């Protein structure tokens, strides 16, 4: 009987040693492959011959973290490229009006003609206003990024805020020859939100229409709190629509925009728990905000 017990113990010991050896081999394989994956740009995963459930789970967990790491790295690369392009574009946008200001200041010093002086001063004021708008847009965006917390305790009557925003933008719209068509429900649309943020959203969307509309604009608000901005945009493409809300994206060359207006609107809408999107069909751009 003693020999039988010793035999069973020996078999168990051999099996344990075999298990340990197999697990050590699997651990080395995981370690070697992990080092390779971290040092090379590859989408392959760690492959394991072991049938041990614990080692298989370990390999699966590492593969999942590798995938997360790759996605984070791709986001970093994309963001780094975006920032570099943004710095280049903003530098150009600021340099253009600044160069014009310097040029017309020089002309102003060279002439004594009052009419010419008045003309040059008008151009200088226009270019200075463009620079002010650009820097203000960048400042607002940076402030928004550094203040992610947003109180949402205001009782906002969306009808009123939208009407006031359109009224405030009317002189600018009118100067561009845009007579807005307004379709606002009589039903009170009330949301517990942040009034200042809702105002900023509507203002940015109206400013976008001022810059890019082809002479028309329709704004509607329905009972369910959906706001739509329609305007003709025949030069727009389906590909461009996908990037409208990207940071620093501009639909066409613009001297007075850093391409942040729609991006700011999107960020604010999402922080308030809503959604924003764009549709494009038959030359008409529709931006849809759901509060």
CATH number at residue 174: 3.30.565.10
Residues 6+ apart with CB under 8 A from 97: 127, 128, 130, 131, 255
Residues 124 and 170 in one domain: no
118 plus 161 within the same structural domain: no
> Among the three residues 102, 124, 146, which one is the final residue of a domain in this structure?
146
| Distance from C-alpha of 263 to C-alpha of 246, rounded to nearest angstrom | 6
Quick check: is 80 in a domain?
A: no
What CATH number should be reported for the domain holding residue 111? Answer: 1.10.287.130
Percent of the chain with pLDDT over 70: 78
> What pLDDT digit, counting tens, does each position of 161-188 carry?
999 999 988 888 888 888 899 999 999 9
pLDDT in tens, 226-249: 999 998 887 777 777 777 887 666
* Mean pLDDT score, 23-48: 76
Whether residue 251 is contained in a domain is answered as: yes
Answer for the pair 147, 184: CB distance below 8 angstroms, yes or no.
no
160 and 232 within one domain:
yes
Which of 126, 146, 166 represents a domain boundary (last residue)?
Answer: 146
- Res 146: pLDDT: 61
Mean pLDDT lowest for which of 51-55, 94-98, 206-210? Answer: 51-55
> Between helices 195-212 and 261-271, what is the axis angle to 10°?
150
Closest CA to 164 of 212, 125, 200: 200
Q: What are the structure tokens assigned to 282, written together?
A: 């038959």
Q: Is residue 81 part of a domain?
A: no
> Could you give the CA distance from residue 201 to residue 269 in angstroms, rounded to a whole number?
7
pLDDT of the residue at 176: 85
Share of the chain above pLDDT 90, in %: 20
pTM of model > 0.85: no
Asked whether residue 142 falls in the same domain as residue 158, the answer is no
The C-alpha torsion from 88 through 91 and 96 to 102, rounded to 10°, is -150
Alpha-carbon span 82 to 212, nearest angstrom: 23
Looking at residue 215, the DSSP 8-state letter turns out to be S
- The answer to the question of residue 96 being in a domain is yes
The answer to whether residues 179 and 254 belong to one domain is yes
Q: Are residues 286 and 158 located together in one domain of the fold? A: yes
Q: Give the Cα separation of 223 and 126 in Å (integer).
A: 41
From residue 271, give the alpha-carbon distance in Å to each of 75, 104, 136: 21, 44, 21
Residue 105 lies in a domain: yes
On whether residue 82 sits in a domain, the answer given is no
pLDDT average, residue stretch 19-48: 75
Give me the chain's average pLDDT, please. Answer: 80
Nearest to 165 by CA among 136, 214, 107, 207: 207
**pLDDT higher at 270 or 137:** 270
Single residue among 114, 146, 178 that ends a domain in this structure: 146
Pair 167, 262 in one domain: yes
Q: Among 51-65, 74-88, 234-248, name the one with the lowest average pLDDT.
A: 74-88
Q: Are residues 136 and 209 in the same domain?
A: no
Confidence band of 94 (pLDDT split at 50, 70, 90)? confident
Q: How far apart are CA 227 and CA 232, in angstroms?
A: 17
What range does the domain containing 119 cover?
89-146
78, part of any domain: no
In a domain, 237, yes or no: yes
Task: Determine contact, residues 133/153, Cβ cutoff 8 Å.
Answer: no
pLDDT at 145 over 80: no
For residue 29, pLDDT over 50 is answered with yes
Q: How many helices (H) and strands (E) does the chain have?
A: 7, 7
Looking at the structure, do residues 163 and 138 belong to the same domain, yes or no? no
Helix (H, G, I), strand (E, B) or coil at 243: coil
- Considering the domain architecture, whether residues 100 and 200 belong to the same structural domain is answered as no
Query: 177-181: long-range contacts at Cβ-Cβ below 8 A with a sequence spacing of 24 or more?
Result: 177/215, 178/209, 178/210, 178/213, 178/215, 178/216, 178/217, 179/216, 180/217, 180/218, 180/219, 181/216, 181/217, 181/218, 181/219
Instruction: Report the relative pairing of strands 218-221 and 181-184 from DSSP bridges.
Output: parallel
The tally of domains found in the chain comes to 3
Say whether both 118 and 56 belong to one domain. no
Are residues 137 and 158 both part of a single domain?
A: no
Check residue 136 and report its DSSP letter.
H
């Amino acid at each position: 009987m003693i020999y039988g017990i010793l035999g069973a113990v020996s078999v168990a010991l051999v099996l344990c040693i075999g298990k340990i050896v197999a697990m050590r081999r699997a651990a080395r394989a995981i370690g070697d492959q992990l080092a390779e994956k971290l040092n090379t740009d590859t989408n392959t995963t760690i492959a394991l011959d072991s049938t041990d459930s614990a080692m298989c789970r370990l390999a699966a967990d590492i593969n999942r973290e590798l995938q997360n790491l790759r996605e984070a790295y791709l986001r970093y690369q994309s963001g780094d490229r975006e920032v570099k392009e943004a710095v280049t574009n903003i530098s150009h946008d600021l340099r253009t009006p600044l160069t014009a200001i310097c040029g017309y200041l020089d002309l102003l010093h060279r002439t004594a003609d009052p009419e010419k002086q008045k003309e040059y001063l008008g151009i200088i004021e226009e270019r200075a206003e463009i620079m002010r708008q650009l820097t203000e847009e960048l400042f607002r965006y940076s402030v928004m990024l550094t203040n992610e917390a947003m109180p949402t305790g205001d009782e906002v009557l969306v009808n009123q805020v939208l009407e006031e925003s359109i009224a405030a933008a009317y002189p600018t719209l009118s100067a561009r020859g845009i007579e807005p068509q307004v379709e606002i429900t009589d039903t009170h649309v009330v949301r517990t939100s942040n009034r200042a943020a809702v105002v900023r959203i509507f203002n940015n969307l109206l400013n976008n229409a001022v810059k890019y509309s082809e002479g028309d604009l329709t704004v509607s608000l329905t009972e369910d709190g959906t706001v739509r901005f329609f305007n003709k945009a025949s030069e727009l493409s389906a590909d461009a629509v996908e990037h409208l809300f990207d940071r620093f994206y501009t639909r066409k060359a613009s001297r007075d925009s850093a391409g942040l207006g729609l991006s700011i609107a999107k960020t604010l809408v999402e922080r308030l728990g809503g959604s924003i999107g764009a549709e494009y069909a038959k030359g008409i751009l529709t931006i849809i905000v759901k509060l």
